[in-house]
Every structure is written in C-alpha cells, then in structure tokens.
Amino acid sequence: DDSHIQQDMEKLQNCFSGFRQKYRLIKRIGEGTFSTVYKAEDLLYDSYDNSWDLDRDTEKWSPPPLRSFASQSSATLDYQSQPQPQPQRRRKPKYVAIKKIYVTSSPSRILNELELLHDLRGCESVCPLITAFRWTDQVVAVLPYFRHADFRDYFRNMTIPDIAIYLRSLFTALASVHRHRILHRDIKPTNFLYDPASRRGVLVDFGLAEREGYDCKPCVCHDDPAVRKARLRPLLSSTLKPGYPREDTRPSRRANRAGTRGFRAPEVLFKCTEQSTKIDIWSVGVILLTILSRRFPFFNSADDIEAMIEIATIFGQRRMQTAALLHGCMLETSIPTIGKSGFSLQGIILWSTGRSEKHEVPADEKLAIEFLSRCMELDPSKRISAEEALEHEFLRLGMD
C-alpha cells in the first residue's frame, strides 16, 4: 500500500509542470471522502510573498498582499498562467498541506469550497487558503500546514479548562464563519485541527459548506406557533402504528442532509428545508458530549432513523416529538429503551464515566454540562449561537 501512496504522489507531481520546483511532497496525511491531503515543503516561500503567516503571539494570520490573490480569482485558477518564481536561499522550512480534490467532485462544488475559503480569509482560527491550481479536471488547494494531534489520542485526558480552551478556539472560528452567513455543515473532530501542546486549533474542510439561504424553502419551523399548529392538525389526528419506525413517516420532501453521521442536528434528520448556522452548533455539542462522556464515537447510527432513535433515547419521547412537530414530522415509537422523558445530560455523563448518580459533580464540570445543554437544544431557534457561546461563562474559562 505504501508503494500505492508513492505512485499517487508521483502522479500528482507529474500532473503540474513546475510542481517539483515549488513543492517537495513529504507524506500523505489524510484521505477522506472527497480528497487526499499531503504534507509538503514549500520550496519557494521566501521568494514570493504569497503565503500566510501565523503570528504566534497574536494568533492572527497575516494575509499576503492583495495583488497575489487578485491574480488567482476563481476564473484564473489555471496553474499554467501562474508566474514561475525563481528559487532563492531559504531560512527554515515552511510546510503546506496540499489538498488534492477528487476529480469525481463536481466543478461547482470545488469552486464553492475555494470561494468560501477566499471569503473567510483573515478569519481567526479558520485555516486560510494560500493558493489553488488546476490542470484539466484536477484541482489542488494549498493551505498552510497546521500541526495537530489525533482527537482520539487527547480527548480522554482533557480537563474542564482544557475543554473550554479547545471550544473557545472552535467557536471563534464558527463565529466568523456564521458572521459571513456560511454554514460549515461538517463540524467534527477531524475537521478541527487542534494542537494540545500549543492549545491552538484551526477549522478546515469547507467541502460541504454553503451560504445561508442557499437551497432553502420555507419550513413550518419558521412559522408562528399558532399557524404551525393549524397546519399540522391533519397530521396529529392521523392514527399511527406503534413500533419501530420501519416506515419513514417523514414528509417526502428533499432537504440537505450533507454532513457526517452522528453529528447531524435533529432538524437535519427531520428534513427541515430552512436549515441555519445552528446545525453547526449541534455538531459542536456532539463533540463536547463525546469529550465529557469519554466515548468516541458517541453516536453510532447507520442511518437517519437510527440517529433519531439515539437522540430520542437521551431526550425522551416527549421532547423529541415536540422537536419533530416543529418541522412537520411525527415521531412515535414504542421502542422500550425510549422513555417518555429520557435522561438528563448530567446523568448520561456520570453513567458513561462510571460514576454513580449521587456523585458530587464539580462546579466547573456542571458549568460545562449546562453549556452542553445550550448546544444540544433540540429547537434550533433556542439553541445558543456561536457569538453567544463566546460570552458564556463556560467559554470564559478558556480565556487567558
């Protein structure tokens, strides 16, 4: 398999003329559904001011001069048209992440990812785009390399203040993304690169991101409660068959469900057609629940119906049914593990970490759990926003 990676690296280097003068591929660092990512050394970084720099003290990325971006607008991403910089003597090596996007991705989706990254340039805790180039159907994006650890290696050892610092960084990124009215849609540990040693993180992977309101149709969740009730009356009077919801009784409408299983917000599962940036907040909630319960993955459903059952098991039939109705869905089941009123998040966390119900929960952990309940609010309109989260007492623990 190692030779396979070597072959792929050869292919990439041969695909673009001048690649070897510009970058030295080091190793493969990621392979996902939509891309393969390599670590590489930027051989010419000193000779052209086209790269971003992270100031270690202020945590701010300083952008390259606008001129270099202007010449790389989406219309002129063609590698061949880039000026060929001449090599110069280097100081210390500078690393980049080269993201080779699979040729099977649609051109509009690739363009979307690059455009959104371009819009988000300069946003704290969002990994900037250095450049991108294309040769026929092959597109690669070049990002500053960000050193990070594998989530599975550190999440069990995080203290409550560690968690607050981690989340403060993630919410700083999300607040900027949401301020630009962009939904990330795929918040999960592998898309938030975090270095526990320096306690810095960056948000990556805008492959599924979209602008708010894109592909949107009115959903009853945005109606006045009285209007919604009147609209849903026929649904409520219909007789329901109890049992495992084998038949999907959700309306046969089409709603965006892009994202990763286990991290999808309830409104995504309920096919809400008017999804908002709040879907990202739910996903952060799942990350926090994972850390506090020391269980990864916390949710392990194979499909959306199973995912609803998992969430219903925690929140209980009653609250889940209310959440379903919000989007015009019915959710009735007689699965014995789904109680009428579910469990408390604190109870779940104590149980997952082998502590008894009577265990005295430390004040800072209680605060974390209270914050968790604000992120995992079933009703997106009541769920905390990224901006509000940064003001929450729990995330204030993450300020130096």
Distance CA 154, CA 196 (A): 8
Each residue of 136-156: b (16+ CB within 10 Å) or e?
A: eebbbbbbbbbebeebeebbe
Radius of gyration for the chain, computed over Cα atoms and rounded to the nearest angstrom: 23
Nearer to ligand ADP, 135 or 146 (CB): 146
Please check whether residue 213 is in contact with residue 305, taking contact to mean a CB–CB distance below 8 angstroms.
no
Per CB under 6 A, 97 contacts ligand ADP: yes
Distance CA 235, CA 242 (A): 15
Size of the site for Mg ion (CB under 5 A): 3
Per CB under 6 A, 190 contacts ligand ADP: yes
Looking up tokens 């209270």, which residue turns up? 370
What mask of x and - would describe binding to ligand ADP in positions 140 to 159, judged by CB under 6 A?
A: ---xxxx-------------
Per CB under 5 A, 191 contacts Mg ion: yes
Nearer to ligand ADP, 191 or 290 (CB): 191
Which CA distances in Å does 102 have to 32, 43, 64, 134, 138? 10, 25, 27, 12, 7
Q: For residue 57, indicate whether it is catalytic.
A: no
The interface partner of residue 37, options being ligand ADP, Mg ion, none and the CB cut-off 5 to 8 Å by kind, is ligand ADP
Nearer to Mg ion, 144 or 342 (CB): 144
The interface partner of residue 52, options being Mg ion, ligand ADP, none and the CB cut-off 5 to 8 Å by kind, is none
Minimum separation from the CB atom of position 148 to ligand ADP (A): 6
Nearer to ligand ADP, 143 or 376 (CB): 143
H helices, E strands: number in the chain: 14, 11
Using CB under 6 A as the binding rule, the residues of this chain from 196 to 225 that contact ligand ADP are: 204-205, 207
φ, ψ (nearest 5 deg) of residue 64: -70, 165
Minimum separation from the CB atom of position 184 to ligand ADP (A): 11
Residues 6+ apart with CB under 8 A from 342: 312, 313, 314, 315, 316, 317, 318, 319, 320
Contacting ligand ADP (CB under 6 A), which of 16, 22, 42, 99?
A: 99
Contacting ligand ADP (CB under 6 A), which of 8, 34, 228, 344?
A: 34
Contacting ligand ADP (CB under 6 A), which of 40, 116, 127, 177?
A: 127
Minimum separation from the CB atom of position 110 to ligand ADP (A): 11
Distance CA 221, CA 315 (A): 19
Q: Is 304 exposed, middle or buried (0-12, 13-18, 19+ CB in 10 A)?
A: middle
Per CB under 6 A, 328 contacts ligand ADP: no
* Catalytic pick among 8, 46, 153, 186: 186
Please check whether residue 277 is in contact with residue 178, taking contact to mean a CB–CB distance below 8 angstroms.
yes
The residue ranges that bind ligand ADP (CB under 6 A) are 29-30, 32-35, 37, 97, 99, 127, 143-146, 190-191, 193, 204-205, 207
Residues labelled as active-site residues: 186
The residue ranges that bind Mg ion (CB under 5 A) are 32, 191, 205
